[in-house]
Amino acid sequence: MRIFFTILINVLLISLASAQGSGHQRSTLHIIQGNAGANLREFNQLLENKGISPLRSGYSTFGIGYQNRFNDFVLGFELYHNNGPQSTFGDYTIDYRTSRAYLNVGYAFTEEGRFHLIHYMSIGVGYLSFEMLQENQPGSMSGFLTDPERGYILRQNNIHKGSQKFGDLLTEIGFQVGYDIDLPVMEESIEVIAKFGYSFSPFENAWSRKGIAFDNAQSGPFLRLGAGISLPDYNYFYRDASLGVHLLYGLHFTRPDQLNGYLDSYGYQSFQGRPRNWGLKILGENRGTLYGIDIYNLANSGQANTERSHTLNSVRVYGNFGQKLYDHKNVEVGILGGLGYGNLRYSLLKDQKPDFPLLFEEPDHDGYLRTWGFLAKPELYLAYAMPLSRRKSFDLIYSAHFGYELPLGRYRLADLGMNKFVAGSYIQFGFGIRP
């Protein structure tokens, strides 16, 4: 994952340097939702051989995207989370999920203006989780740790251990159609988009787990619709506005002491250290007013005992709004307030499981607890902007962010409240680029 974003930043720098002083440019932030086709062919063949109806095809997609246009050249990235349709088999729920991070390179067929048509190609990395778990969640943490075997979980490039675990090549080819809508209450344009094309894994059997290939879970046609904020070059205020993207690495000053107490009592090793995170911050500014999105992934992982490993993971997504307090000689200070969503997931996985079809016939090996809630945070940020040219058209941004997260939900794993773990202070360091 770090290599992927290093490539992203380097390509951005090269492209920005080549585009300085020339033509039109714009920055855009999108929220995207849609559907795609995917057929778990080999697993469905297993079900058919047993006289069981196949799983439903397709999955739903939710994600964010950021892109920059330099004349007719378009460069950006997208981060997606995909949920497959759930199916039931006896007392079990069968489900699969994937996450993907893409670098997009495209070419605009239309001149800079309100309407645009872009052809793009993407290269990226991904994560896959396939689950067959009992429908009923355990009522207590004691009962769960005494008998955690409630199905099986198969993961590849397990981002529950951290976003740096993203891996295996994925590609995509498609078209993007968009239109700018001006609103009286804001100077930025609202841009609505539609994206359609085909996603696929270029290498055969790259997504094989326990004797079954899940390549088709990563492949299929898609249609996505989205809307976002765009800074088109034809707007007069453009020189007073910016929209930048930042790679974050952070440390949270909290420990899962409540959970560790239970783990020690039932003979499991406790989690050591503090959760770290990799994430992205998209931060826009218009005449001192700040807005944007944060997404980051906290992770603790380790060996639970000689037979099992475990992870404690939390994904946080925030919408932010704030004000720049100081901006002089490339030094910036600002405050942000964020409101968002966070989940919390504890996995207890057996290291050795049989291959299919035996795994389907004897599924009880792993345990999984999850919960979610809302969060709020205040944040102070310090940044240094290093111009890439005398025209100061593009800046490299080095930043530090200090904040405190406040859970607005109960965050209970079974009967164990985890609010004290979710709450806490953090520090994040960012590196990004701002046109």
- Say what the pLDDT of residue 233 is: 72
Beta strands in 204-266 (DSSP E): 208-209, 212-213, 220-231, 241-252
Q: How many CB atoms lie within 10 A of CB 309?
A: 17
Give the whole-angstrom CA distance, residue 243 versus residue 184: 20
Phi (first) and psi of residue 233, to 5 degrees: -65, -25
Give me the DSSP letters along 97-117. Answer: EEEEEEEEEEEESS-SSSEEE
CB 200 within 8 A of CB 218: yes
> Please, which pLDDT band fits residue 6 given cuts at 50, 70 and 90?
low
- Say what the pLDDT of residue 96 is: 92
Task: Identify the residue with better confidence: 118 or 44.
Answer: 118
Give the whole-angstrom CA distance, residue 39 versus residue 163: 26
Q: What are the Cα distances from residue 51, in Å, to 13, 45, 48, 85, 86?
A: 55, 10, 5, 20, 19
Model confidence pLDDT, tens digit, residues 210-233: 989 998 888 889 999 999 999 887
pLDDT exceeds cutoff 60 at 422: yes
pLDDT exceeds cutoff 80 at 393: no
Give the whole-angstrom CA distance, residue 266 versus residue 311: 16
How far is CA 236 from its chain centroid? Answer: 34
Model confidence pLDDT, tens digit, residues 252-292: 999 999 999 999 999 999 999 889 889 999 999 988 899 99
Residue showing tokens 């390179």:
105
The phi-psi region of residue 240 (left if phi > 0; otherwise alpha if psi is between -120 and 50; otherwise beta) is alpha
CB 131 within 8 A of CB 96: yes
Token readout for 226 is 């989205």
- Say what the pLDDT of residue 242 is: 86
Model confidence pLDDT, tens digit, residues 315-336: 999 999 999 999 888 899 999 9
pLDDT exceeds cutoff 90 at 159: yes
Q: Considering only 8-17, 37-46, 107-116, 165-174, which range has the smallest mean pLDDT?
A: 8-17
Mean pLDDT of 401-420: 93
Which residue, among 27, 8, 15, has the nearest Cα to 166 in the 3D structure?
A: 8
Residue showing tokens 């009522």:
139
Mean pLDDT of 190-202: 94
Give the whole-angstrom CA distance, residue 77 versus residue 152: 33
**Alpha-carbon dihedral sign for residues 224, 225, 231, 233:** positive
Give the whole-angstrom CA distance, residue 413 versus residue 371: 6
Model confidence pLDDT, tens digit, residues 242-261: 888 999 999 999 999 999 99
Beta strands in 330-366 (DSSP E): 331-350
- Say what the pLDDT of residue 389 is: 65
Model confidence pLDDT, tens digit, residues 349-383: 999 999 999 999 999 999 999 999 999 999 999 99
- Say what the pLDDT of residue 2 is: 52
Share of the chain above pLDDT 70, in %: 92
Mean pLDDT of 25-32: 90
> Please, which pLDDT band fits residue 51 given cuts at 50, 70 and 90?
confident
CB 298 within 8 A of CB 276: yes
- Say what the pLDDT of residue 351 is: 93
- Say what the pLDDT of residue 18 is: 45
Give the whole-angstrom CA distance, residue 109 versus residue 37: 27
- Say what the pLDDT of residue 252 is: 93
- Say what the pLDDT of residue 231 is: 86
Residue showing tokens 């190609």:
121
Q: What are the Cα distances from residue 410, in Å, to 378, 414, 422?
A: 20, 11, 10
